[in-house]
Chain A
Amino acid sequence: MNETKIITNNVNVYYGEKQALHNVSMNMQANEVTALIGPSGCGKSTFIRCLNRMNDVIDTCKVEGTITIDGYDIYSKETSVEKLRERVGMVFQKPNPFPKSIYENVAYGPKIHGIANNKNELDEIVENSLKQAAIFDEVKDRLHEPGTALSGGQQQRLCIARAISVNPDIILMDEPCSALDPIATARIEELMEELKKDYTIVIVTHSMQQAARVSTKTGFFHMGNLVEVDKTEVIFSNPSNKKTQDYITGRFG
């Protein structure tokens, strides 16, 4: 097994009075794809958003328990949220490129984080990020056209390029393919295979088949609880919890 990258221990999340997560303890390994599945409202998106403190922006949201990345508590007072988000990139359900050129979309992060020292270095980062996101060949002749002019699948790969441009350790993906057609979805899945060699990937997905195809480990959430987490092949062939089995076989939603 690969080294453990992320450890969550008894994580409870509240939105005001309402508790959204109950004592979630889960490990995520480096260079693996971990999939989170479960019906709408089960807490999987809330959970993934704890991993880069996206929930901080919601005033009523309270997070208890500990979450460590490489052993460091990301909710400790010493942790800089900016630095954390540099290490933990995120890709969302709907492709959301900035209303800027393809080049600027990818260059933005390295610029604000002061990663590139000069124009040449920045060009190199942009090119490498686009290559890693498997979109460079499709856009290399129109880097200065708007990112929003690309197709949905291309926009999502552009967003992945943008996420990896600041050289993170972890990429969080919250239903990255739900707005894409099957071909664009297959391209993203193929890309994830490549990306996991360099990154730790955590993906929330509503597609059971996608979780089965791309992930090493799958966690099933239900009503704010992590019901079961196991090797993906076990979850989909012989889960130990009846709730997991009922969910993956389409017996309740």
Chain B
Amino acid sequence: MSEHIVKSYDEQLELINSNLIIMGGLVESQIKNSIKALEDKDTSFAEEIISDDNKIDELEKDINELAYKIIAMRQPLANDLRTVISALSIANDLERMGDHATNIAKRVADVKVNLPDAPTLEIVRMGEDAQKMIKDVLDAFVQRSDKLAMNAWHYDVNIDDTYIGIYRDLLKIMSDDPDSVAGCSHLLSIAKNIERLGDYAQNIAEDIHFIITGSALEKK
């Protein structure tokens, strides 16, 4: 992208961009770690994840402040305006994704006992799927690639399908064995957390589409 006549404007826009990339990277690793903690039933690792969430919250705050500052002081237009407005929305979505990763980590202690293996493994696999989608979305942001963003957007349906499958399996296990209800309901919540991660990644893909094309995504 060609540069602004005013260099400090470019610097501010670049700072917002790099903060979003850092934030995205943090969210990615929080999600990866939370799935790992779940897989290993590692509660001390989960504690670490929970306490790291504030780094993401801080970055969101920084991005919001910078975006408000740019709007107030530069009156951005056209692609610059779309970038700044979308930065607010992407930062908000990333922050929510961070919360979902934290929620997963918080449940690690609860699922330590007597969990059915099959759905746990399926959830871990679903988590890996979500990570792939999130990675693609973040790559699309870095490369400003509408094609990558749209691929990721379409991928969400797979995660939704997996969620429905896990939901059914867990329901069956619970009705067959009432003692499993406590553990399974935690697993159900974790699956829901992951399913929501896909939805937020989809939002970000829509924002990228908006930044690049200037129009909102027509959902089919």
Residues in A lying within 8 Å of B, measured CB to CB: 208-209, 212, 236-239, 245-246, 248-253
Smallest distance from the beta carbon of B144 to chain A beta carbons, Å? 15
Smallest distance from the beta carbon of A13 to chain B beta carbons, Å? 28
Q: B78 contacts A248, CB within 8 Å?
A: yes
Give every chain A residue within 8 A of B2 (Cβ-Cβ).
Answer: 246, 251-252
Q: B78 contacts A250, CB within 8 Å?
A: no
Partner of A245, one of B5, B75, B79: B79
Compute how far the CA of A246 lies from the CA of B1 in the bound complex, rounded to whole angstroms: 10
Q: B78 contacts A239, CB within 8 Å?
A: yes
Chain A residue nearest to B215 (CB atoms) is: A238
| A237-B214, A238-B214, A238-B215 known; A248 vs B77 contact (CB < 8 Å) | yes
Give every chain B residue within 8 A of A239 (Cβ-Cβ).
Answer: 78
The size of the chain B interface, using a CB distance under 8 A, is 16
B78-90 toward A: CB 8 Å interface, digit per residue (1/0)? 1111100000000
Q: A250 contacts B4, CB within 8 Å?
A: yes
| A237-B81, A237-B214, A238-B214 known; A251 vs B3 contact (CB < 8 Å) | yes
Give every chain A residue within 8 A of B3 (Cβ-Cβ).
Answer: 251
Residues in B lying within 8 Å of A, measured CB to CB: 2-6, 9, 75-82, 214-215
Compute how far the CA of A236 lies from the CA of B77 in the bound complex, rounded to whole angstroms: 6
Compute how far the CA of A238 lies from the CA of B212 in the bound complex, rounded to whole angstroms: 10
Compute how far the CA of A253 lies from the CA of B75 in the bound complex, rounded to whole angstroms: 17
Q: B75 contacts A249, CB within 8 Å?
A: no
Compute how far the CA of A208 lies from the CA of B3 in the bound complex, rounded to whole angstroms: 19
| Complex A-B: 19 CB contacts under 8 Å | A208-B75, A212-B77, A236-B77, A237-B77, A237-B82, A238-B78, A238-B82, A238-B215, A239-B78, A245-B78, A248-B77, A248-B78, A249-B4, A249-B78, A249-B79, A250-B4, A250-B9, A251-B2, A251-B3
Compute how far the CA of A237 lies from the CA of B83 in the bound complex, rounded to whole angstroms: 11
B76, B78, B82, B214 — which one has the most chain A CB atoms within 10 A of its CB? B78
Q: B5 contacts A236, CB within 8 Å?
A: no
Smallest distance from the beta carbon of A229 to chain B beta carbons, Å? 16
Chain A residue nearest to B85 (CB atoms) is: A237
Give every chain A residue within 8 A of B6 (Cβ-Cβ).
Answer: 250
Compute how far the CA of A249 lies from the CA of B76 in the bound complex, rounded to whole angstroms: 7
Compute how far the CA of A239 lies from the CA of B81 in the bound complex, rounded to whole angstroms: 12
**8 cross-chain pairs, A with B, having the tightest CB-CB distances, nearest first:** A238-B214, A248-B77, A245-B78, A249-B80, A250-B4, A251-B2, A236-B77, A249-B78
A212, A236, A245, A249 — which one has the most chain B CB atoms within 10 A of its CB? A249
Compute how far the CA of A212 lies from the CA of B80 in the bound complex, rounded to whole angstroms: 16
Smallest distance from the beta carbon of A232 to chain B beta carbons, Å? 11
Give every chain A residue within 8 A of B81 (Cβ-Cβ).
Answer: 236-237
Give every chain B residue within 8 A of A209 (Cβ-Cβ).
Answer: 75
Compute how far the CA of A251 lies from the CA of B78 in the bound complex, rounded to whole angstroms: 12
Partner of B5, one of A208, A238, A251: A251
Chain B residue nearest to A212 (CB atoms) is: B77
Smallest distance from the beta carbon of B107 to chain A beta carbons, Å? 43
